[in-house]
Amino acid sequence: MPATDDHPWWRSAVIYQIYPRSYQDTNGDGIGDLNGITERLDHIASLGVAGIWISPFFKSPMDDFGYDVADYCDVDPIFGTLADFDRLLEAAHARGLKVIIDQVYAHTSDQHAWFAESRASRNNPKTDWYVWKDGKPDGTPPTNWQAVFGGPCWTWDARRQQYYMHNFLPSQPQLNVHNPEVQQALLDAARFWLDRGVDGFRLDAINFSMHDPEFRDNPPWEPAGRTITRPFDLQHHTYNQSHPDIVTFLEKIRRLTDSYGAVFTVAEIGGPDPLPEMRAYTKEGVRLNSAYSFDFLYAPELTAERVRASLGNWSGPGSEGWPSWAFSNHDAPRCVSRWYHGADRPRFAKLTNALLLSLRGNPILYQGEELGLTQVDVGFEDLQDPEAIANWPLTLGRDGARTPMAWSRGNTYAGFSEAKPWLPVGDDHEAASAAEQERDPDSVLNFTRDFLRVREASPALRWGEVQFVDAAKELLIMRRTHGEDAVTCVFNLGAEAAELPAGLNLGSEVLIASGWDSGVSGQTVPPYSVALLRG
């Protein structure tokens, strides 16, 4: 469907996330690269998605695998060159795919030239580009703020005789985004990529980009009823993040992206109560286009109640903001392993992919979800994630979701690389590889392609309103309507068969279904099944 003023290309667009280290290696070093993405664009285009989001490929010491940026305007050699990126961009556009890249505005690497200058003295041109603060009289850190990856938010620097702030690793110093010069430098970096032709930005941890200038201590958070794996979980993060002035910076970003046309901006919003920030950051027409939270990414189970509650937060007009949704990504365990423990993973993967693609908003499909890939159990000796290593064995870490993409069976490392990959290939991933599933018309891959074709052809599924039908147990029934187009979506999220509400008219035309072995008929909905019907 062509873009219009009411429905620009990004509104309801399905975005395919690529973690470049793990997508395709073309130079034999065991690490994926930009040329590998280019090589696999036909696979992505065949899915029917609107665009790709590429996780960071910028120059970096890789302490946090690219989210510690040492140069916003250059490609790290392990991924290739700027010329490689330009070829990728051209090839994607030739296939009708938009290209979205990460922007990390809350912090840089400690190897960034800006930080090297800032830490050199207290009176240089970039002295206030990062968050520096004297310690307390007894030498302890300025505040009680705790970092996401463990320990205080503060590290002592002997050069300046001050502490610098970091919300994540000590090698990720916090930018002082309150500083207009820093804001302009970040906008200049965005312009660099816009000038090359990118179609949008995913803004990493953007609610961490500004702190409380008064440096007040965070209040404690009672641990009762929660699993605590780090000191970060013992505070309400009132003052080290989420400052109200962030929205003013977002308005500057929006003015810049608007000057380049229909550029898509989506924010990652973490935290226990993300909804107010999501709404504030996506105020219609003046801030970002969309935002996503961790509603599903860290949910321990998938329930009809959770879906109704999450989607119900975005049931109003577009002016309230437009959500994006992700069930899995590079930071969270894959949903088919997190939510399902039975023997028929492909059946469950079809269900979750169908549900994600039926939600009102922008679905973000993580690489391998189209195959139903499972979470990999990475042994301690193979761990790469600093958070997983620090907290082992209490947390799963992020490595199990970052393992290499499975392209084929019976060759070296599932077709990802001829060298040993930076993370191991999952034991069951070769059997679920893209090449294997291509040959099976009933595979997760082919079902996901078919579902995306149904979605693309339906205004109701792309932009329509949502109404829920009262149903028992884990039966989720949504009606999506837009103009004359109406689709009823039926999902049984439970392990037991469920009965449809008496008198419910599902519609006469089955658009797509999975798990209904005898056809979509009768009043009984099989376990872990889905059906979309017209009318």
Catalytic residue ranges = 204, 268
Contact 414, 407 (CB under 8 A): yes
Residue 167 to residue 38: CA distance in whole angstroms: 34
Q: What is the token pair recorded at 168? A: 């994540």
Within the chain, what is the greatest distance between any pair of CA atoms? 77
CA dist list (Å): 413 to 337, 377, 378, 530: 22, 16, 15, 34
Name the phi and psi angles at 253, rounded to 5. -60, -45
Q: What would the DSSP string read from start to end of 206-229?
A: GGGS---TT-PPPPB---TTS---
In degrees to the nearest 10, what's the CA dihedral of 379, 380, 382, 387?
120
Contact 42, 191 (CB under 8 A): no
Between the two ends of the chain, the Cα-to-Cα distance in Å is 20
Name the phi and psi angles at 267, rounded to 5. -100, 140
Residue 264 to residue 261: CA distance in whole angstroms: 9
Residue 433 to residue 264: CA distance in whole angstroms: 31
**Is 319 buried (19+), middle (13-18) or exposed (0-12) by CB count in 10 A?**
exposed
Contact 407, 334 (CB under 8 A): no
Residue 193 to residue 186: CA distance in whole angstroms: 11
Strand pairing of 475-482 and 498-499? Answer: unpaired
Q: What is the token pair recorded at 400? A: 């199990």
Contact 518, 497 (CB under 8 A): no
Contact 24, 433 (CB under 8 A): no
Contact 13, 98 (CB under 8 A): yes
Q: At 30, which amino acid appears?
A: G
Q: What is the 3-state secondary structure (H, E, C) of 232-267?
A: HHHECCCCCCCCCCHHHHHHHHHHHHHCCCCCEEEE
Angle, CA 99 vertex, CA 96 and CA 100 arms, to 5°: 150
Q: What is the token pair recorded at 517? A: 């072995």
Rg (the chain; Cα; Å) = 23
